[in-house]
Amino acid sequence: MAAYKLNPDSWVDLYADYLFNYAIARVSDAEIAKDLVQETFFAGLNSAKNYKGDAAERTWLIAILKRKVIDHYRKINSNKGKAEVRINYNASSESEGDWLEEQVADPFSKDGDNTIENEELGLAIEECISKLPKKQSLVFKMKTIQGMSTEDICNELGINPSNLWVMIHRARTSLMGCMNQTWF
């Protein structure tokens, strides 16, 4: 028996918000994001016997969700589903975190890593983020990329949660517009 055990009873409490934020940043539709998180939990339950404990529970669930997002775009025949969003992070930067997309191998991949396409997409995303107003860019990176909690961001920047979510929404809207013009 494996030394690592999943705790599905706590998934909703521990990971639903994080998974939702991950999904909404990629699909920009709350209902679709909720459905993808639910599908992720079901897939996690169905494949729990395959969990070997090589990654943290949250990391494992994000890997599943990542595939669900890509599958969603493939189903609607979108170019977005043909590229995995991967931003290159500087390992020597002051920011540390669970850069999940880089830590989790894709066990379902049928073809090689599309390194060039991923690098180009990462550069396009970074370019679009750099065009955001400074505070929007900062809030977006803290919440969506670094995965900081709403409370920590609000305390650090001296803003309230409503302001935070308005800035994130505006940033996502601007990013989608920019990405539609420069990438898709």
Distance CA 117, CA 113 (A): 9
Contact by Cβ (8 Å): 7, 41: no
Distance CA 146, CA 102 (A): 13
pTM: 0.45
Q: Give residue 77's pLDDT.
A: 64
pLDDT along the chain (184 residues), means of 10: 70 91 87 93 88 84 88 70 40 38 40 54 82 91 83 90 89 87 71
Instruction: Please tell me what DSSP assigns to residue 145.
Output: I
Q: Give residue 146's pLDDT.
A: 79
Q: Give residue 119's pLDDT.
A: 67
Under CATH, what is the fold of the domain 107-184? Arc Repressor Mutant, subunit A (1.10.10)
Q: Give residue 6's pLDDT.
A: 85
Secondary structure class of 154 (helix, strand, coil):
helix
Q: Give residue 101's pLDDT.
A: 38
Q: Give residue 19's pLDDT.
A: 92
For the chain, give every domain's residue range.
1-82, 107-184
- Domain 1-82, CATH 1.10.1740 — does that match? yes
Cα angle 6, 84, 136; round to 5: 90
Q: Give residue 91's pLDDT.
A: 38
Contact by Cβ (8 Å): 139, 164: yes
